[in-house]
């Protein structure tokens, strides 16, 4: 399994969150091959000095079965439209994106 990670800095536009959750995430959800998406807000209390002057705000993780599935998804029209939307809502200037191989599966609750 592989995940594509988007790490967002804190936006100055107060309307970013509304548009991100209402517009952008539904577009991302249409990406072929996407297994699931998890979005988390960064805990500011435990962040002190972690990344210097950059204050991370949100982390989005998009999971794919394989590198090939992810690469195909990144070439899809659905992914392209989600990227266009991210630019429209001001997220391109806020985000750093990268992929990572998942080495362990989540622990199952008993």
Query: 8-58, pLDDT tens digit by residue?
Result: 998 887 889 999 999 999 999 999 999 999 999 987 655 555 555 667 899
Q: Which CATH class is domain 2-101?
A: alpha beta
> What integer pLDDT is reported at residue 45 of this predicted model?
57
**Pairs from 25-32 (Cβ < 8 Å, separation ≥ 24):** 27/78, 27/81, 27/82, 27/85, 28/60, 28/62, 28/79, 28/82, 30/78, 30/81, 30/82, 31/62, 31/73, 31/76, 31/78, 31/79, 31/82, 32/72, 32/73, 32/76, 32/78
pTM, two decimals, is 0.85
Domain ranges of the chain: 2-101
């Amino acid at each position: 399994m592989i995940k594509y990670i988007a790490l967002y800095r804190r936006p100055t536009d107060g309307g970013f969150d509304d548009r991100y959750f209402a517009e952008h995430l539904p577009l991302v959800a249409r990406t072929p091959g996407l297994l699931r998406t998890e979005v988390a807000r960064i805990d500011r209390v435990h962040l002190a000095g972690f990344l210097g002057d950059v204050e991370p705000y949100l982390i989005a993780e998009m999971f794919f079965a394989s590198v090939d599935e992810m690469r195909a998804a990144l070439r899809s029209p659905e992914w392209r439209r989600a990227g266009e939307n991210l630019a429209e809502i001001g997220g391109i200037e806020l985000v750093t994106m990268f992929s990572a191989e998942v080495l362990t599966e989540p622990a199952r609750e008993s």
